[in-house]
Amino acid sequence: MNQAPRERWTGRTGFVLAAIGSAVGLGNMWRFSYLTAEYGGAAFVVLYVAFTVLIGIPVLLAELAMGRGANSSPISALGHFGGNAWKPGGALFVASGFLILAYYSVIAGWTLRYALVALFGGFDPDAKQYFIEISQGRGAVIGHVVFMAGTTLIVARGIRAGIERTSLILMPVLFMLICGLAVYGYTLEGAGAGYRFYLETDFSKILDAEVFSTAAGQAFFSLSLGMGAMMTYASYLSPEQHLPNESLVIGGADFVVAFVAGLVVFPLIFALGLSADVGESTLGALFITLPKAFSQMGIAGQVVGFLFFAALAVGALTSAISLLEVVTASAMDTLGWPRTRSALVFGVLITLLGIPPALKINILDWMDKLAGQLFLVTGGLLLSIFVGWVMKDPFSEVRRGAEHWPWFPVWRFLLRVPIPLALLIVLYSFVQKMFCE
């Protein structure tokens, strides 16, 4: 087994920023805005908020309690609290990490490339054609490999020197960038139409089953839930931390960044009269519509475009390290490998697995549906049932550092009945959509 004592975060700030770094990523800026556009604006946002509060934060707390309590990554944590029969569930988590990081890194590679293009010459007005050219093929593979190399090096350096330090520097930068961009969006003439689309609620859409499940899936993805990322980060925590408060802070920060990202994206698109493009929104939305907007804005477009895609790349990096950390920590905890070997071996394997989605965007889309939606929701279902029904005394884990937390019965009830039911509905709708259409 692993001989070295388990590393720890330096303190509360380090953990919270790293966890926010995991949560805030492409999910907040790219996935959130394209889904909001596709599913009719504010109705989707309202559902997303509701699911973040009712499902996301309780499951996040469950992950934190398990990780800190077991002091280990998902496979061993499930074994610790549930016995060996539960260990294969942890394997599902590790598989999700593998698959999600493989395509996530391809998208992150696009953002790197776009940031450079903005800086050194500006965007091609024919943004769609450009996106089609660069999103698949050799260029995409190069971006992916560069991004994975950075991610692997950070994880190999460890919790304090790698993950914590990166988050400490990059998260404040990201917050400032995104707030600055939102202020800029406000100054644009015609921004109002963007705000209206984003913030006016058409409540009839809320009852749509597809909107419902997509919003729940997004709440999961955005909070990095359902595959043990938060669990793994919590395994480096010291016992005196108030976990319910940490969950609120992480969930709140994640929502704020997604929301502010919407305040950047929609005014830009509407101010430049590109709202028709929003309707045909898909995977590529952000990478087509926004560059088109930037290309019409001259030098300002170059600056703003660079800052926007740099912010995306930063968010992607702090998320990617949490995905790789799950796989790395699992190899360390179960195989007893040293950190450097685990990070390098799995970094390389995931880089290889990312080549097919870098060559064909259809594969990427499919991997996102399979792992980014189906696996995560399945993982969340497993977690809520596990902590709600199987784990003997989950409150004793939560209570350390939070003696007087009054919400315990509500939390446990949510995990026992409403959350599994909601997730089952979501799962059913995903399966139906994936295989029956």
**Of 251, 301, 244, which Cα lies nearest the Cα of 114?**
301
Residue with Cβ nearer ligand TRP (65 or 323):
323
Does 330 engage in binding with ligand TRP (CB under 6 A)? no
Structure tokens at 16: 């919270």
Residue with Cβ nearer ligand TRP (60 or 272):
60
Least distance from ligand TRP to the Cβ atom of residue 432, Å: 22
**Of 278, 232, 264, which Cα lies nearest the Cα of 39?**
278
Upper half-sphere CA count for residue 298 (Cβ side, 13 Å): 0
Residues 6 or more apart whose CB falls under 8 angstroms from that of 53 comprise 251
Q: Based on C-alpha coordinates, what's the Rg of the chain?
A: 21
Least distance from ligand TRP to the Cβ atom of residue 127, Å: 23
Residues 6 or more apart whose CB falls under 8 angstroms from that of 303 comprise 118
Residue with Cβ nearer ligand TRP (38 or 122):
38
Rounded CA-CA distance 85/143 in Å is 40
Does 100 engage in binding with ligand TRP (CB under 6 A)? yes
Does 221 engage in binding with ligand TRP (CB under 6 A)? yes
DSSP assignment of 263-316 = HHHHHHHHHTT-HHHHHT--TTHHHHHHHHHHHTTHHHHHHHHHHHHHHHHHHH
Residue with Cβ nearer ligand TRP (25 or 158):
25
Using CB under 6 A, which residues numbered 8 to 27 contact ligand TRP? 22-23, 25-27
Compute the CA torsion angle 302, 304, 307, 308 (nearest 10 deg).
-110
Does 227 engage in binding with ligand TRP (CB under 6 A)? yes
Binds ligand TRP (CB under 6 A): choice among 76, 213, 222, 330: 222
Backbone angles phi, psi at 39, to 5 degrees: -105, 30
Rounded CA-CA distance 130/134 in Å is 6
Using CB under 6 A, which residues numbered 52 to 91 contact ligand TRP? none
Amino acid, single-letter form, for residue 221: F
Does 218 engage in binding with ligand TRP (CB under 6 A)? no
Does 229 engage in binding with ligand TRP (CB under 6 A)? yes
Binds ligand TRP (CB under 6 A): choice among 33, 319, 330, 351: 319
Does 112 engage in binding with ligand TRP (CB under 6 A)? no
Residue with Cβ nearer ligand TRP (28 or 135):
28
x-or-dash string of contact with ligand TRP, 175-214, rule CB under 6 A: ----------------------------------------
x-or-dash string of contact with ligand TRP, 266-305, rule CB under 6 A: ----------------------------------------
Does 216 engage in binding with ligand TRP (CB under 6 A)? no
Amino acid, single-letter form, for residue 157: R
Least distance from ligand TRP to the Cβ atom of residue 293, Å: 22
How many CB atoms sit inside 10 A of residue 159's CB?
23
Rounded CA-CA distance 44/195 in Å is 14
Binds ligand TRP (CB under 6 A): choice among 323, 332, 383, 423: 323
Residue with Cβ nearer ligand TRP (191 or 314):
314
Residue with Cβ nearer ligand TRP (257 or 361):
257
Dmax of the chain from CA atoms?
62
Q: Note whether 238 and 17 are within 8 A (CB).
A: no
Residue with Cβ nearer ligand TRP (253 or 271):
253
Q: Number of helices (H) and strands (E), helices first, in the chain?
A: 24, 0
Residues 6 or more apart whose CB falls under 8 angstroms from that of 181 comprise 264, 304, 307, 308, 311
Amino acid, single-letter form, for residue 174: L
Least distance from ligand TRP to the Cβ atom of residue 52, Å: 12
Q: Note whether 388 and 420 are within 8 A (CB).
A: yes
Does 109 engage in binding with ligand TRP (CB under 6 A)? no
Least distance from ligand TRP to the Cβ atom of residue 379, Å: 8
Least distance from ligand TRP to the Cβ atom of residue 327, Å: 11
Does 376 engage in binding with ligand TRP (CB under 6 A)? yes
Least distance from ligand TRP to the Cβ atom of residue 128, Å: 24
In the 8-state DSSP scheme, what is residue 242? -
Rounded CA-CA distance 287/279 in Å is 15
Q: Note whether 81 and 91 are within 8 A (CB).
A: no
Least distance from ligand TRP to the Cβ atom of residue 22, Å: 5
Residue ranges binding ligand TRP (CB under 6 A): 22-23, 25-28, 100, 221-222, 224, 227, 229, 319, 322-323, 376
